[in-house]
């Protein structure tokens, strides 16, 4: 995730992006900056539970921060958007970064310091299109799940091979 700016930096960052400074925006920025992973709307709401945050306000706040380029939206493929704080870019366009998705527990981590080179074959380069978003997701098993014995390809934790995992999810016994 992006470095957590001090709370006093947030009003300036909002104003620099043409946004009004509101308590909701400051609270959402604080929650996102304190989280080591991008958060779902539900995760933001849970973190703001003591402040009785309103779901609609949180959605609107996240969308305004997204449009302003202060946060980014992550879609790891489970149809649940997650939001993470972007590092200030000193006026330059934000360069995309890769994300790691644990297929066992669903954790998403920003890999901001990673370097991943994606090249297009010469035939694809001749296509006429405009790239508006670059998303790179690396899937696997996180360290916590590996240490706990949960394999990304066997979320149930079965040790009898992939057929056992498949059967435990389907309710049927192993294939013979």
What pLDDT is attached to residue 155?
46
Q: In this predicted structure, what is the pLDDT of residue 126?
A: 61
- Domain spans in the chain, listed from the N-terminal domain onward: 1-92, 95-176
pLDDT tens for the chain, 176 residues: list them: 444 555 578 999 999 999 999 999 999 999 999 988 889 999 999 999 998 889 999 999 999 999 999 998 888 778 889 998 887 654 434 456 677 888 888 787 877 666 777 666 655 556 677 766 667 778 889 888 998 877 656 545 544 433 333 333 334 333 33
Instruction: Output the DSSP codes for the chain.
Output: ------TTHHHHHHHHTT----HHHHHHHHHHHH-SS-B-HHHHHHHTGGGT--HHHHHHHHHHHHHTTSEEEE--SSS--EEEEPPP-TTSPPPP-EEEEETTT--EEEETT--------HHHHTS--------EEEEE--HHHHHHT-BTTBTT--SS-HHHHHHHHHTS----
What pLDDT is stored for residue 163 in this prediction?
37
Q: The domain at 1-92 falls in which architecture?
A: Orthogonal Bundle (1.10)
| Predicted pLDDT at 5 | 53
Instruction: State the pLDDT at residue 168.
Output: 37
């Amino acid at each position: 995730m992006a470095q957590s700016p001090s709370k006093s930096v947030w009003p300036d960052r909002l104003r620099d992006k043409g946004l009004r400074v509101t308590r909701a925006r400051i609270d959402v920025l604080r929650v996102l900056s304190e989280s080591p992973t991008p958060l779902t709307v539900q995760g933001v709401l849970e973190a703001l539970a003591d402040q009785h945050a309103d779901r609609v306000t949180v959605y609107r706040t996240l969308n305004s921060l997204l449009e302003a380029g202060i946060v980014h939206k992550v879609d790891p493929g489970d149809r649940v958007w997650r939001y993470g704080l972007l590092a200030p870019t000193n006026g330059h366009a934000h360069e995309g970064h890769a994300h790691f998705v644990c297929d066992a527990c669903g954790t998403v981590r920003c890999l901001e310091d990673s370097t991943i080179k994606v090249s297009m074959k010469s035939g694809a380069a001749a296509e006429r299109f405009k790239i508006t978003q670059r998303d790179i997701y690396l899937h696997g098993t996180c360290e916590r799940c590996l240490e706990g014995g949960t394999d990304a390809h066997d979320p149930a934790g079965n040790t009898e091979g992939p057929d056992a995992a498949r059967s435990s999810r389907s309710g049927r016994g192993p294939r013979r």
